[in-house]
Chain A
Amino acid sequence: MSPQTLSVLERFAERPTAWHYGYEISRETGLKSGTLYPILMRLAKYGLLETKWITMEKGVPPRHTYRLTAKGVEVLRELPAGVRPRVRARRPALSPSGA
């Protein structure tokens, strides 16, 4: 697993139930769009990440958001201790909208 994938998973592992924006993850991990999106695409392809379009206000295009699926959390727990991001207990997300 690449360090970049690990850092993305770390972001999700911190708040497993929260929905995250692509640009928000990019800023938190320092990854450029060219690196971040292939990782998100791969995680989504394997069913570890679920995606949703969210409309914030009328007239503004919707935004794509992401969060770990139950399978994603399970897979993260299967990873060896040395590389596994710490998965926090599932709790209701605060932003941008609850699970």
Chain B
Amino acid sequence: MMMKVHRQTIHRHKVAAALLRAALNIAPAHAAEWGRAMLGELRHVEGDWSALMWAVGGASVLARQAFFSLFMRSNAQHIAPSGGEVFAKEKPMRKSTLIVAAACLAVCLLFFTAPAFRQAFQISLEQWSSLADAFHGSYRYAGPDLQKLTQQARQNHDAEGLAFAAMRCCGNESAQLAEEAVTLDPRLTWVYGVLGARNSFSQRDEWIPKLEAFDPQNALPHLMLASQIEWRQIGQHGAMNFEATADWQNAMAAAFASPKIDVYRDRVNQLDHEVAVRYGLSDPYEAQMEYFLSLSHVPGNSREYAKLLLANGDHLAARGDYEGAARQYLTVAHFGENSRASGDFLAVPILEDSYKRLAALCEKRGDQSQAQIFTARLADVERARQANIAANRDFVPRNRIEQRDAEILEFSGIGMILFGGLLFACAVIAIIHPRSGRFSTFRVTGRMTALAFGSGAGLVVSSVVLYLSYRPYAEIIRTYLRDGDRSHMRDLAFFVDHAETPLGAGSLYQMGDISMYFWYGVITMCAVALVFCTGKYFLQQRRAAAVV
């Protein structure tokens, strides 16, 4: 046992000595004597762990000397003129240090010449603007690029440009731009349908008949009218009585009888691409149609009307009126198929209910071949539903990739600001501090040199990471503008959406905008206060030492 302990002690001393000898190999010439001094003392250090700690401390001193020797002139014997200057820890800064720092800054500025990099940096700043918007109570809908585009479109009487802007603005501005566009080119009347399906505008009453005249086979104006009635009823009475509202039922009946439902997705895509290419718009916030995702279902509570029709059909079937019941079920199935064709997967339950009833009705009437057709349609709808679920299951991990990329981008943006600020502060200190204006007399502390060098390197690394994290998304916009390929625009939409959430606020995201931003603000303020107090503490320490 004693032998074992003794062997361990010898081992630790050997390790400690080996560590110091290794550090001696990298130590600069002026520090080698001190390295040997620490090595000489090692055999007198009591305790094996203490010896190891002694060696670790000594090795760190030699490693620091080796690092600083890369930037500092070699240590000649200095003459200290007074007590105060002895402890100032100043060393002449090598020109190479300043050159390296300037080169890092130049590389960063070079990055800014690339439009994709400027965009990436701008997106990384969006987290702060959304934070500011949340506290000011308003959100920025029209960015500077869109405002410029609107101005140019007005000057050039470009109806498509105005329609493009109308679909990206909100409120009265949006309605006004849409009307200007349609006045210039009545072929753009469909824009009323896009806006009317998205929001409840006061102008919607005027738009509905115009849209009906423009596209008489489309169910959309009838659905907009039904939706308008719902809004009014709920606004007046706080609830909607579907069974007792004849106007609403008439509007829905017209919608269910219409041959098609078109939310003008193809026209929007075509116009988007043409205008984006025409104005060279590569801003992802304007190019991607984030609101388009919200257009996946048609306006109005069509499911309630479908329920009314199905209940009515059940009633007729119970009375033995199979023809009448089949007509009700088929009307619902027809509308469900139209909705599904327009990309509205909320229509799937309506379709399932109607096909189930139709199959059962045909079996009851002994029409097996017709029953099989409806059962096959039901299976087809079920397959489509499963495919939709699978697509959504695949969408979640994909969404996580965009979230990760957005977080890397935000982190890099913060890194750039932080390192850029530190580099600027070092430069200011270096320029203000010298006693003469000559470059060679710049005198900074070793720590500040290391800080300047580290900040420069950090700035370059942050810039590179920022660019790399955004590059795939810049490529998506480039491909879209070149070929009109929208297949990855959804990824871009999720990316910019995540990039708007302040870094680290993801866990607060479920709280709702204002609460989330409030608590995020509180946490940020606390962190800033902590940094401020720590800085103040160290400044006080330095001031106490500066009494000398």
Chain A positions near chain B (C-beta within 8 angstroms): 1-2, 5, 21-23, 26, 32-35, 37-38, 40-43, 45-48, 51, 60-64, 71, 75-76, 78-80, 82-83
In angstroms, Cα B284 to Cα A6, docked, is: 60
- Which residues of A sit under 8 angstroms from B55, Cβ to Cβ? 33
- Which residues of A sit under 8 angstroms from B86, Cβ to Cβ? 42-43, 46, 48, 75
In angstroms, Cα B77 to Cα A48, docked, is: 11
State the total of A-B contacts with C-beta under 8 angstroms.
Answer: 94
B520 within 8 A of A: no
- Which residues of A sit under 8 angstroms from B61, Cβ to Cβ? 33-34, 37-38, 41
- Which residues of A sit under 8 angstroms from B45, Cβ to Cβ? 23
Q: A22-B38, A22-B41, A63-B41 are in contact. Are A46 and B60 (CB under 8 A)?
A: no
Whether the pair A64, B53 counts as a contact (CB closer than 8 A) is no
Q: A61-B40, A64-B40, A76-B83 are in contact. Are A83 and B547 (CB under 8 A)?
A: yes
Whether the pair B58, A33 counts as a contact (CB closer than 8 A) is yes
- Which residues of B sit under 8 angstroms from A45, Cβ to Cβ? 75, 77-78
In angstroms, Cα B40 to Cα A62, docked, is: 7
In angstroms, Cα B31 to Cα A46, docked, is: 15
In angstroms, Cα B548 to Cα A76, docked, is: 11
Q: A61-B43, A63-B44 are in contact. Are A82 and B53 (CB under 8 A)?
A: no
Q: A2-B545, A35-B57, A37-B34 are in contact. Are A42 and B89 (CB under 8 A)?
A: yes
In angstroms, Cα B19 to Cα A34, docked, is: 14
In angstroms, Cα B87 to Cα A45, docked, is: 11
Whether the pair A34, B58 counts as a contact (CB closer than 8 A) is yes
B54 within 8 A of A: yes
Q: Which of B38, B82, B89 is the one whose CB lies under 8 Å from A78?
A: B82
In angstroms, Cα B36 to Cα A80, docked, is: 35
Query: What's the minimum C-beta distance from A16 to chain B, rounded to whole angstroms?
Result: 16
Q: A21-B44, A40-B34 are in contact. Are A71 and B57 (CB under 8 A)?
A: no
Query: What's the minimum C-beta distance from B16 to chain A, rounded to whole angstroms?
Result: 11
Chain B residue with minimal CB distance to A41? Answer: B34
Whether the pair A33, B40 counts as a contact (CB closer than 8 A) is no
Whether the pair A78, B83 counts as a contact (CB closer than 8 A) is yes
Whether the pair B37, A34 counts as a contact (CB closer than 8 A) is no
Whether the pair B83, A46 counts as a contact (CB closer than 8 A) is no
The secondary structure that dominates the B interface is: helix
Whether the pair A79, B83 counts as a contact (CB closer than 8 A) is yes
In angstroms, Cα B58 to Cα A38, docked, is: 9
Whether the pair B40, A48 counts as a contact (CB closer than 8 A) is no
B318 within 8 A of A: no
Whether the pair A75, B83 counts as a contact (CB closer than 8 A) is yes
Whether the pair A47, B77 counts as a contact (CB closer than 8 A) is yes
Residue of B44, B56, B60, B86 ringed by the most chain A CB atoms within 10 A: B86
Known: A21-B41, A23-B54. 12 other contacts (CB 8 A): A1-B545, A2-B87, A33-B54, A33-B58, A41-B31, A61-B40, A63-B40, A63-B41, A63-B44, A64-B37, A75-B86, A80-B547
Query: What's the minimum C-beta distance from A3 to chain B, rounded to whole angstroms?
Result: 8
Whether the pair A34, B80 counts as a contact (CB closer than 8 A) is no
Whether the pair A46, B80 counts as a contact (CB closer than 8 A) is yes
Whether the pair B43, A1 counts as a contact (CB closer than 8 A) is no
B244 within 8 A of A: no
- Which residues of B sit under 8 angstroms from A78, Cβ to Cβ? 82-83
Chain B residue with minimal CB distance to A79? Answer: B83
In angstroms, Cα B88 to Cα A2, docked, is: 10
The B108-139 residues at the A interface (CB cut-off 8 A) are none
Q: Which of A21, A37, A75 is the one whose CB lies under 8 Å from B58?
A: A37
- Which residues of A sit under 8 angstroms from B293, Cβ to Cβ? none
In angstroms, Cα B27 to Cα A41, docked, is: 14
Query: What's the minimum C-beta distance from B61 to chain A, rounded to whole angstroms?
Result: 5
As a 0/1 sequence over residues 23 to 64 of chain B, the CB contacts with chain A under 8 angstroms (1 = contact) are: 000000001011011111101110000000111111011001
Chain A residue with minimal CB distance to B542? Answer: A2
Whether the pair A33, B87 counts as a contact (CB closer than 8 A) is no
Query: What's the minimum C-beta distance from A43 to chain B, rounded to whole angstroms?
Result: 8
Chain A residue with minimal CB distance to B44? Answer: A23
Q: Which of A2, A34, A41 is the one whose CB lies under 8 Å from B56?
A: A34
B396 within 8 A of A: no
Whether the pair B57, A33 counts as a contact (CB closer than 8 A) is yes
Chain B residue with minimal CB distance to A38? Answer: B61
Whether the pair B38, A47 counts as a contact (CB closer than 8 A) is no
In angstroms, Cα B265 to Cα A36, docked, is: 74
In angstroms, Cα B77 to Cα A47, docked, is: 7
Whether the pair B548, A1 counts as a contact (CB closer than 8 A) is yes
In angstroms, Cα B548 to Cα A5, docked, is: 13
Residue of A33, A41, A46 ringed by the most chain B CB atoms within 10 A: A33
Q: Which of B53, B64, B79 is the one whose CB lies under 8 Å from A47?
A: B79
- Which residues of A sit under 8 angstroms from B77, Cβ to Cβ? 45, 47
A-B contact pairs, 28 of them (CB 8 A): A21-B41, A21-B44, A22-B37, A22-B41, A32-B53, A32-B57, A33-B38, A33-B55, A34-B56, A34-B61, A35-B57, A37-B37, A37-B38, A37-B57, A42-B86, A42-B87, A46-B86, A47-B79, A47-B80, A48-B80, A63-B44, A64-B41, A71-B80, A75-B83, A76-B83, A80-B547, A83-B547, A83-B548
